[in-house]
Amino acid sequence: MTDFAKISRTNLAVGAGPTARPRALAIWLLVIVALIILMVVIGGITRLTESGLSITEWKPVTGAIPPLSAADWQAVFDEYKHSSQYALMNQGMTLAAFKQIYFWEFFHRLLGRFIGLAFALPLIWFAVKRAIPRGYIGRLVLLFLLGGAQGGIGWLMVKSGLTDRVNVEPAMLAAHLGMALILMAAVLWTACDLLALARNPRAPKARLTGFGTLAVLLLFVQLLLGAITAGLRAGYVANTWPLMNDRLVPDGIQWWGSFWLTLTSDQFLIHFLHRWWAWIAAIALFMLAARLNRTGSSRLAMTLSGLVLFQIMLGIATVITGVSLPIAVLHQGVGALLLGAAVMSAHRIGLTARAR
């Protein structure tokens, strides 16, 4: 068999043509992951500064241009004055104060548009250059569509807070953050697959293992509980740790009724669950790190364990400081980083399992 025939057969086996550039694709996707994490951080600032309802319309194209004149600023401010948040919480707000909350919501939406372009344009370029390995184009298109859906969920979340409320519905906030984290995890997993393909054209794709999936899901639930806690402003109901207002189980918890309705309305219950589910997720992640260490990936295992400990300390600090803005934002950002480390760990274990 000639060398050319051997190369062609290898390319066919792994689904990669001679122009495929898996490493370049992986680097591009890792940049997208970093942008999504930044988006999560900016979203946290937007929520904590009560800025999310400052823009009352969704204009996907023209909304990328901010108010440019005094008349434009007055017009958007007048629109905000018709919102329930202004009527119930911000009566008498000055235009200068409005500009501050407008900035964070505008920047959040602008970054979302930028991420969409940062995904779409390189995807088209890689497709035209036939640089995408076989079997990946469908996955990449699906990821782009999920990103578009995330924008729609964001607007539905904002709409949920424009009538008879001063903030968005906690369930919608959790859905918005949850979709962002799912998208980040899927993009990161795909990047890891491509990096493995770049290192070894014969490398099979990683598979989801039972324990790796369980550990990531337990962490994901914890992050969703954190989103509902934030949406209900439940972090403020207790500023002591480990006890909540001098009790392990606070008196304010309502255990009866519809569990979902109680979960998304009872500040004491969601704070209690978020506080203690963290330890379930942490134990699972430490066990994941131990399994990862046995595969020879000690550096990633140490990173995962270190992020778990740091996130726990940040959670405690958020409580005892009465939800300090810098600490709470860092807590949310590290949560996204921790999910990324957990996904990479599950992928590394999945590669090892596939190779056996």
The predicted-structure confidence for 127-149, as pLDDT tens digits, reads as follows 999 999 988 999 999 999 999 99
Q: Containing H/E element for 129?
A: none
User: What per-residue confidence (pLDDT) applies to 179?
Assistant: 95
Q: For residues 331 and 2, which has the higher predicted lDDT (pLDDT)?
A: 331
User: What per-residue confidence (pLDDT) applies to 265?
Assistant: 81
Q: For residues 206 and 30, which has the higher predicted lDDT (pLDDT)?
A: 30
Mean pLDDT, the chain, whole residue set: 88
CA dihedral 65, 115, 221, 235 (to 10 degrees): -40
d(CA 62, CA 117): 15
Angle between helix axes 267-294 and 298-320 (nearest 10 degrees) is: 160
Name the least confident of 19-28, 113-122, 220-229.
Answer: 19-28
- Does the pLDDT value for residue 8 go beyond 70? no
Q: What is the mean pLDDT of residues 259-269?
A: 78
Distance of CA 241 to the CA centre of its chain: 26
Taking only the tens place, the pLDDT of each residue in 184-223 is 999 999 999 999 999 888 777 888 889 999 999 999 999 9
User: What per-residue confidence (pLDDT) applies to 288?
Assistant: 96
Taking only the tens place, the pLDDT of each residue in 141-184 is 999 999 999 989 988 898 888 887 778 888 899 999 999 999 99
Angle at 111 between CA 109 and CA 117, to 5 degrees: 110
Bridge partners (DSSP) of residue 247 are 244
CB 131 within 8 A of CB 150: no
Q: How far is CA 113 from CA 25, 110, 119, 273, 350, in A?
A: 20, 5, 10, 34, 33
Name the least confident of 262-276, 283-297, 332-346.
Answer: 262-276
167 backbone dihedrals φ, ψ, rounded to 5°: -150, 175
User: What per-residue confidence (pLDDT) applies to 255?
Assistant: 65
d(CA 138, CA 144): 10
Q: Which of 176, 278, 307 is nearest to 218 (CA)?
A: 278
d(CA 21, CA 113): 26
- Does the pLDDT value for residue 84 go beyond 50? yes
Indicate the pTM of the whole model: 0.89
Angle at 320 between CA 178 and CA 98, to 5 degrees: 60
Length of the chain: 356
How many Cα atoms sit within 13 Å of 55 on the Cβ side? Answer: 27
d(CA 248, CA 255): 15
Angle between helix axes 22-48 and 325-355 (nearest 10 degrees) is: 150
d(CA 145, CA 182): 13
